[in-house]
Structure 1
């Protein structure tokens, strides 16, 4: 539907706003005939920015409208309109600097959006319109114009500034003089001639989110200029027609940036980035598909299926009640304004945007999932995190009785191509952030993620449906960054990372990181720890069962004379938390600052989180503390306002320079104190081996035997002739076997099972089975990039 008509329906009798809409309609008629192919698409682009028709008096829109009005009014009140000014805002000076004009265009877009959106204090005001037009001319003169050469961060020249500028031009197109429009279009054409190349580095092909962003910029430029050639470049940029699909967003990749068949998403060559760059790609591609739909430049063909499949394959496992797990948010974890809830809300919004144009079978499932995500998150409501366009979609979804909210996703997911593992149950989820010589342990730069040292060393995120703010409630500025859950660390003092311009990553030297998944229900994962700047080495493994996660460590060795620790838990108890900690049936002190060595502890229970079992005993250390920090300590753009949170921490102290130390602990998320005690006594999952050769767990009740072999060996009758991860589940209905080579070093693995097999029901084409009393599986793991190979037997 035409935007001017939709706005007119919403704004009837709204005075100045109705005048604005009428003027936009006149401008449409003036810019072309009834057959003008560009204005309807420009109207659609404007609708994508403002949300189209809605009733400003509708209370559901009140929060989003107030947020927009407050921010825009603040910028408007502080804008400098004086003669001889050096900048538009005092804190963004001088305007010739790329980061400054980039930020200035962003603020002007907010102003333009508020001016074009019904119900704000700036809506339709001539003074605001004229102020924006004047500000655009100022920035063009002193900052962003076609005569300049790129300096500083390329992103401001080729993505940030041109996107904001084109959005503003779309919103003000009825009042934008042709001379100004042509100058701005020329500038954008100078810095974004196509979506295929980095303009200031022409040999570098654009990939992933950057390509999607540039394609949208091209489309907006083409529409504003009436340039069909630019629209063709925009459409073809998504699939990389220029380079025969080499960098297409609609293909699965096997290395570098993009979506992988196992659901991984990588950007910046080696960073697990589903939650930020992956989300940006989803937004850009989805927006362009919607923008050009039904036109001569529509994105057509089955190639978009990769994007459609990514919603459930890549994004779904990392969305927990609408929040985006930090394990795939990269350096964004250090951004004060971008919590896991914020990035999650953005991803949900982009999924719903894509649902508008996706095949119905996909769209129906996505809307059901989104409805569940939105309704379950009552701690940080989705409606309070999004803008008006996304709110309009969400409101329609929530009011549609035909869409039933989907339950939480359950299952086990191994993302071998980005070193991530997710284990999901009905009320909780556990996520591992691993790293290797292939995938970075962390990304830092541009003054962000200054304390990301150990985020890729096996950090274990535990998400609980009853506390969705464990990591979103000021966790990163207040947590002890040397004691992240799941990590084994050298306690040496670390320097801040990435304080300069540009970004960089750190990839460790280990090969092993990943694991195998069995029946989409159970999993085992392993990581060889080769610490950065330390002699610390360790073999770490995790085994994921129905209601428990067993974590093992062996071969923990260092020779630097410093204490080595393995962190079991470091739980955010929030600002006033006084959660009970029970150890071996004894309630521990509540006062802040309490710490203790708990000796041969066998189990613990933390109120509101769950249970912990220590099959091999201590020595366990515990601490209850209040920590104060600032976002500025993590990001040079963060606030200096102190924030405080309370923490309960459990860890193993391996002492200085340990030699082949080990640990074993079990996480029982959501378990009661009574159930934790019972688990510690019955040990339904037994540790069979925990040394530098093999780490293994058995659960007789589940019929499960799982092992990671660091070398050829055997345990409980299960053997492997080389390094690899093996899970075997033997039940009445048959036998399931999963094998993976997370180190990617072998060509084949030969696995012998401890019980007879009479028949092969099914097997991957990489698996050969010799049945018998001691059956043998020969698994061709070479070239499989750490993925799981399956067989089902009788």
Structure 2
């Protein structure tokens, strides 16, 4: 029997039926057993990952006919030296060469393409790859050399490994070496080695590892690609599931998109390999998506505070393409596939912006950012403290965005309220801000810290309070927001400036004009149409309705309302933007505090999701909101229907008292109080300064027996300071 087995083995080796290299055979009790070597197993892993990469690239390439047609067009336009005459190979344009080359590689290697295996296309691909290598484009922005270029090169080479005719080995080898030389390392120092940047560099390490058969590079690439899914208090995914990049700067969109993109790509690349065992931190990615990322999109569009300097890019707010990433998440995170299906329906416009949106209120205490989302609307707020950074002006983008961190609020029902408005905005009147009208400040290139510490929020997951102690551009103010089910109460006190000749204004909104404007002026209803309205008010405006968003002015006040055509250019906010003029019809609404105000104040209530005049009248008649106090020491609001009270205590040892209640605190803080059906009292409390270890509260309240005093321990770690706590009083 052993002789027969040995003979079969010899025949197999001689005929090639058994591999000589990459396998070891042993005899055990007369049986032939093949033992695959480590090299052979590793090679199978590299091939499997490259197969998965190709399958994803084919699946996400879009319409096959369009891809093939584009490849044929690029073939017809390419020069003999492998360049395209319409490209200058400087700046961002150099990336276009690789994008065209990738399209050609897709068409050449996809057996469903009409250009599959086309000999002329292969020649052009080799020429274009050789031209790129010889040209050696270099960009002043490290991102291109370390992320944009090597990622594209890696994908192109992996596609061409599946081609009828291979790329010349010397050219492939030199191109891969270039990837290694200029592509950086995912664990390098500084911002390139953190968060989304780390993941993007790690991805082309994975490409290079598979192309060269380097297990050490693959091990490191996969480990580094998943590393940023761990929660951190540095740059990256935060304990409150916000996302910070370029220092402590909120970047839920933009770099947050990269986190989702790379993590889902790599997870599917390494599926069905030893690297595909799953990562313990993938739950963090799922929570970031469900609790944060998807909530900052209304319909198809980002809320404008969510995506950093991307606000200055044409169509930068459009998230319809995020459907592709959600399809990947459905494979990875099957337990939440219904949530992803609902989000995709909103993103592709097959369902309205309200579809599947949960009611939730979150103050992201690590980011100085607040998000209030309901099925009928979304409201977001951006502030800044000494612990966080203002919006950056990096690479000549977001040139006018300085005031975005000064209490900017975006209010969306349909999601289209601000789409592409930004080149035509008056950036000195960003919604929610209190600023000197007409005054512009250019942000520093990579962000500026805030100047105050009393900035934060408290939440019970459905309602909340946020505060911003503003001291910016010689304008000071105590700004507070009280978030309820139907409305957001916006208060300002102590508005003060000592310089400048400009009027100080608080902007309620500056959005695209969407239909008629209806007002109640001393109970007289008026309707205004068109883009040529300019109105001034002095304590005679009750409420305004525009674009399904209502605004109530409980204290009246001096203000203005306009509907007009506004013109600007993308180049005015982004140095790479078009210089062509853009015109939008814009709705503007503001309160005027005059020149050099001292201790001015404002109060307005935003009521999103109002469908028509009758509903607005009905809301105004209810009078649900009682402003208890709006001063520099205390700002307080009562919601009559829900019984929720909100208090902002700006000073230590402060007490609020009226005929029925009294509340005193030992230190500046935020307190939200609600009576429970059991007769108990629920208090949600937060320390905006993030410095307190304990807080004493004394409460006199209907239903409680006498004054109740409690001393509460507050979160103090870097991961938890500023987080809301809850206590129950009997």
Same fold, TM exceeding 0.5? Answer: yes
Equivalenced residues, count: 677
* Deviations 1:345-402, CA, capped at 9 Å, x for gaps: 32x43233133234xxxx232x2122222323565999xxxxxxxxxxxxxxxxxxxx
Q: Give me the whole-angstrom Cα distance separating, in 1, the residues matched to 2:172 and 2:454.
A: 54
Report the 3-state secondary structure (helix = DSSP H, G, I; strand = E; otherwise coil) of the residue aligned with 1:505.
Answer: coil
Q: For 1:332 and 1:485, locate their aligned partners in 2 and report how far apart those are by CA, in whole Å.
A: 18
Q: Deviations over 1:636-688 (max 9, x none)?
A: 22223322221221111101000010000001112243343344344211111
Distance change in 2, residues 1:445/1:380 (3 Å): farther
Report the CA distance shift for 1:370/1:166 in structure 2 as closer, same or farther (over 3 A): same
* Corresponding position: 1:159 with 2:130: no
> Which of 150, 172, 176 does residue 160 from structure 2 map onto?
172
Larger Rg: 2
**Is contact 2:691-2:721 (8 Å) kept?**
no
Cα distance in 2, alignment partners of residues 155 and 205 from structure 1: 8
CA distance in 2 between counterparts of 1:753 and 1:540 reads 25
Report if aligned partners of 1:602, 1:680 keep a CA contact under 8 Å in 2.
no
Farther off after superposition, 772-781 or 125-134: 772-781
Q: Deviations over 1:122-164 (max 9, x none)?
A: 55433233212111111111215xxxxx762211111111001
Task: Verify: 1:50 aligned to 2:58, yes or no.
Answer: yes
Match of 1:135 among 111, 122, 128: 128
Distance 1:340 1:790, change over 3 A: farther
**Partner residue in 2 for 1:526:** 467
Q: How far apart are residue 76 of structure 1 and its match?
A: 4.5
- Residue 68 and residue 323 in structure 1: after superposition, are their counterparts in 2 closer, same or farther (change >3 A)? farther
- Does 2:581 correspond to 1:636? no
In the other structure, the counterpart of 2:376 is 427
Are residue 354 (structure 1) and residue 341 (structure 2) matched?
A: no
Distance 1:773 1:235 in 2: 59
Q: Which runs of 5+ in 2 are unaligned?
A: 1-38
Moved more, 774-783 or 663-672: 774-783
Aligned to 1:316: 294
Which residue number corresponds to residue 396 of structure 1? none
CA distance in 2, matches of 1:613, 1:122: 62
Aligned to 1:364: 335
- 1:99 and 1:250 mapped to 2: Cα distance? 29
Residue 506 of structure 2 corresponds to 566
Q: CA deviation at 1:488?
A: 0.6
Question: Distance between the aligned counterparts of 2:400 and 2:254, measured in 1?
Answer: 19
Structure 1 residues 322-721: aligned runs within 5 Å: 322-342=300-320, 345-346=321-322, 348-358=323-333, 363-365=334-336, 367-377=337-347, 407-464=356-413, 467-472=414-419, 474-494=420-440, 503-518=445-460, 520-531=461-472, 534-560=473-499, 561-573=501-513, 577-583=515-521, 584-671=523-610, 672-712=612-652, 713-716=654-657, 717-721=662-666
Residue 252 of structure 1 pairs with residue 231 of structure 2: yes
User: 1:724-782: per-residue Cα shift (whole Å, max 9, x none)?
Assistant: 11101113234221111112243322222222787xxxxxxxxxxxx963233434254
CA distance in 2, matches of 1:719, 1:329: 39
Query: 1 CA distance for matches of 2:415 and 2:65?
Result: 25
Q: Which residue of the partner structure matches residue 741 of structure 1? A: 687
Deviation at 1:187, TM superposition (A): 1.2
Contact 1:340–1:471 (8 Å) recurs in 2? no
Partner SS state of residue 442, structure 1: coil
Secondary structure at 2:269 match in 1:
helix
TM-score (normalised: structure 2): 0.86
2:316 is paired with a residue of what secondary structure? Answer: coil
Of 373-382 and 591-600, deviating more is: 373-382
Q: Which moved more, 1:647-656 or 1:331-340?
A: 331-340
Instruction: Report the Cα offset of residue 88 of structure 1.
Output: 3.3
In the other structure, the counterpart of 1:38 is: 46
Paired residues for 1:208-227 under 5 Å: 208-227=195-214
Q: Which residue of 2 is the match for residue 185 of structure 1?
A: 176
Conserved 8 A contact 2:487-2:607? yes
Between the aligned partners of 1:792 and 1:68, the Cα distance in structure 2 is 62
After TM superposition, give the deviation of residue 412 of structure 1 in Å.
0.6
- Partner of 1:157, secondary structure, is helix
Report what 1:775 is aligned to: 709
Query: What does residue 297 of structure 1 align with?
Result: 275
Q: 1:126 aligns with which of 110, 119, 131?
A: 119
Measured after TM superposition, the shift of residue 119 of structure 1 is: 6.5
Evaluate the alpha carbon distance shift between residue 715 and residue 301 of structure 1 in structure 2; reply closer, same or farther with a 3 A threshold: same
Separation in structure 2 between the aligned mates of residue 437 and residue 416 of structure 1, nearest angstrom: 13
Q: CA RMSD in A?
A: 2.9
Q: Distance in 2 between matches of 1:414 and 1:264?
A: 10
Task: Give the 3 Å change call, closer, same or farther, for CA 259–622 of structure 1 in structure 2.
Answer: same
Contact 1:282 1:351 in 2 (8 A): no
Residue number in structure 2 paired with 1:731: 676
- Unaligned 5+ runs, structure 1: 1-30, 55-60, 145-149, 240-247, 383-404, 759-770
Instruction: State the distance in 2 between where 1:283 and 1:582 align.
Output: 48
Structure 2 SS opposite 1:36: helix
| Other structure's SS at 2:547 match | coil
Q: Find the aligned partners of 1:621 and 1:570 in 2 and give their Cα distance.
A: 12
What is the deviation of 1:408? 1.1
